[in-house]
Structure 1
């Protein structure tokens, strides 16, 4: 149990009304979890304001309340801690409550539109391969050393973050690598954390359903680097025009990486094929099973971060050569009759363009590329026509299908995508709302040597339709269809 008086040590308190000796043993921000022994933090969310549920939390038995303003109703025997920003305070209180675990870890955050999962996961794998126990927060899964935990958000809530980090420290982890989403930055989910380093991948069209404007999206990402300390490093991709924007007025030690121009960490693709590529990284050659310029950038970010964390060049390159692709990220599946399927999580126009360009750089004369792609429902609608446009311009044939339609009509989403296809190119496009049928059709259209790109879902093993998640894994479907056709 911790006395609420300690909260003043962890976050800035405007007013403490009530007995400071009252104690709590758990922090909650959902009134449904507010029971005896809990501290309820009333947070103003995107859709719900926790201040409207203070009375419910009190009735449920919580011990104390953190809020931005006192409720109109008077409550005796319940202490209130008034703060300026309860979302920020939640992170700082959670950090203090769990003993500031981020200060006991070498914590590195990865932010940007594309590449976050790959870079964070590969850093985790690289450091474990070098003998360092490490933790991971990613879209695919969270890890405490070798122990796998389920992942529900790209970046968990502040209480979960700090609780798991404390478990990482207790398990002997020295490093922790985490994806940092723009939502998490904007919603103060990372408040109170102390980072050893931050990595910027790129910034392209995404999440405008939440941020509304691209400028707001940029500012959300930049805020992460604004808060890095002078003892941290900031590693940015200068192949993206926003790379140096991220570190304007940044106090951290700024490092750059690039595959196109001079930088602190530089890579060049010497040879590329479906089996992998030969890279030159800072004048040293290394073979890797990854392919594509975007993956060269990802590996360069991993290399640069490892060097910035004090690891030796030769050991980093050796470990880098042993890494394998992340689930659902340019994952290849071969059929017995010579068809190659590529499954990738690409769900933004830029990510889709990168994957298609990579395939086109490798495919030989006479080999056709058939792309199967959809767009998520209840998300940014403006990227739908762009995704279709990119697919059509880079592919021989395109099958537009459903992704996670959620509450939307799948055909309506496909119609939105079709708006991006010029009339002269519509002969190349087929729409099949049933995703399994779309993949099956793509396979049936192939001849030996052809390539199928199934984009958008990657590692996901479900399809969300009308609020219900049904089991669906692109990789399983492809393998099943390949086996049927043997």
Structure 2
């Protein structure tokens, strides 16, 4: 579904400069991505101003640009608006109302959103548009919608760091089915407590119409939330609407049993078996075109997103790269997985869990207690919060800038868990080790 540059100006309440009949389809905010035929939105960020890349976007073939100030010597239509970020959202809202999608599935939760979203993409196959990476905010969700104009199905990941962020995104997406993966202590600087987390995440579930479905693990209590859609619970106990069996094999890969059939996933950790189960149930409720055996087989091929329990083997050392982010629940899951796996030596490299607000110290202390139970051979803690939690047997680094001190500790046969909040970028440790081995050879 395409639109003209004149329609674009009307959608975003902007002033058109240039040809009004230019055909546009989709949108982009990054010239490193494919912009040909799309509208380039020049966003002003904290460190980068997209207006500096307008000429590059035109050179790369964009059909029009949306700007806050006119660019000189630009040969494509320009639409001038007061705020390009708000204009992107407005375009997505206008186009969403005209899209004839057969199904729309939205995913939210404290942990597991991106993995579940990627599993859904694997299950639905061709002609589905899935959120890129962790594009789950007021930029990522509009871009996902605008990428789905030619698709039959849309899968949108929806996240939030503070109260009030989910409802406008949920209204934009208009899901038929919504998945709530978990409610945990995450982003507590904004939410303060898990009760508020649930209230905020529930804003997505409340946008699902009466004929739609809300899919949740059976341990999440939605009794205090007003929801029009059918609620379907998934769990390992007989009280769940859909009963499943979850586990891990000796290599740490998740196992899942549903309806008498069993698979081993290509994803590490028992929690990912539940993520897969939630995704399968969502697809079954969104369409009559799939059989559960077919979906189980497709789920077995789903791959881990970057930095989320990725298994990487480098020169005899196996890394569990879970460096994308961290909160108390995901830390516990990763440590439980490490505890079940076999290795010559086990090494734990953990970084601070950020955005925990007033509960930060208590949660880091509790984490240290969990670390002591897994009997790791080497423990490295990175960051001030980890150090203040106190662990006399661990190696402490004040920040991630000194990670090179850890590299010599690794030995062939080691199993190394690397996990911390995004701000620490602990994946650099794996990159340093890999570079060291390249230089040695």
TM-score (norm 1): 0.66
How many Å separate the matches in 2 of 1:247 and 1:229? 18
Matching of residue 301 in structure 1 with residue 278 in structure 2: yes
What residue in structure 2 maps to residue 69 of structure 1? none
Q: Structure 2 vs 1, CA of residues 193 and 295 (structure 1 numbering), >3 Å: closer, same or farther?
A: closer
Q: Contact (CA 8 Å) 1:373, 1:456: kept in 2 or not?
A: yes
Matching of residue 273 in structure 1 with residue 250 in structure 2: yes
Displacement of 1:444 after TM fit?
A: 3.4
How many Å separate the matches in 2 of 1:161 and 1:216? 22
Per-residue CA shift, 1:168-225, capped at 9, x if unaligned? 223xx11111211134872323334321110011111111212234332221111211
- Gaps (5+ residues) in structure 1? 7-22, 29-33, 38-56, 67-86, 142-152, 402-413, 465-470
What residue in structure 2 maps to residue 25 of structure 1? 10
Displacement of 1:399 after TM fit?
A: 1.6
How many Å separate the matches in 1 of 2:11 and 2:266? 45
In structure 1, which of residues 154, 167, 172 is the aligned counterpart of residue 136 of structure 2? Answer: 154
How many Å separate the matches in 1 of 2:70 and 2:439? 59
What residue in structure 2 maps to residue 179 of structure 1? 157
Q: Contact (CA 8 Å) 2:111, 2:181: kept in 1 or not?
A: yes
Q: How many residues align?
A: 376
What residue in structure 1 maps to residue 384 of structure 2? 415
Kindly report the root-mean-square deviation, in angstroms, between the aligned alpha carbons of the 2 structures: 4.1
In structure 2, which of residues 107, 110, 114 is the aligned counterpart of residue 113 of structure 1? Answer: 110
Q: Contact (CA 8 Å) 2:117, 2:157: kept in 1 or not?
A: yes
What residue in structure 2 maps to residue 327 of structure 1? 306
What residue in structure 2 maps to residue 398 of structure 1? 379
Matching of residues 153-302 of structure 1 within 5 Å: 153-157=135-139, 161-162=141-142, 164-170=144-150, 173-183=151-161, 186-187=164-165, 188-239=168-219, 243-245=220-222, 248-269=225-246, 272-274=249-251, 276-302=253-279
Displacement of 1:435 after TM fit?
A: 2.8
SS in 2 for 1:342: strand
SS in 1 for 2:352: coil
Q: Contact (CA 8 Å) 1:230, 1:253: kept in 2 or not?
A: yes
What residue in structure 2 maps to residue 73 of structure 1? none
Displacement of 1:123 after TM fit?
A: 0.8
Matching of residues 9-158 of structure 1 within 5 Å: 24-27=9-12, 94=91, 97-98=94-95, 100-101=97-98, 104-128=101-125, 132-138=126-132, 140=133, 153-157=135-139
What residue in structure 1 maps to residue 319 of structure 2? 341
What residue in structure 2 maps to residue 411 of structure 1? none
Q: Structure 2 vs 1, CA of residues 266 and 444 (structure 1 numbering), >3 Å: closer, same or farther?
A: farther
Per-residue CA shift, 1:366-386, capped at 9, x if unaligned? x44322122366774633652
Q: Structure 2 vs 1, CA of residues 192 and 302 (structure 1 numbering), >3 Å: closer, same or farther?
A: closer
How many Å separate the matches in 2 of 1:372 and 1:102? 46
How many Å separate the matches in 2 of 1:264 and 1:475? 42
Displacement of 1:287 after TM fit?
A: 2.2
Per-residue CA shift, 1:96-151, capped at 9, x if unaligned? 522515652511111110000000011112212xxx3111125x26xxxxxxxxxx
SS in 2 for 1:110: strand
Higher Cα radius of gyration:
1
What residue in structure 2 maps to residue 438 of structure 1? 403
Q: Contact (CA 8 Å) 2:248, 2:270: kept in 1 or not?
A: no
What residue in structure 1 maps to residue 48 of structure 2? none
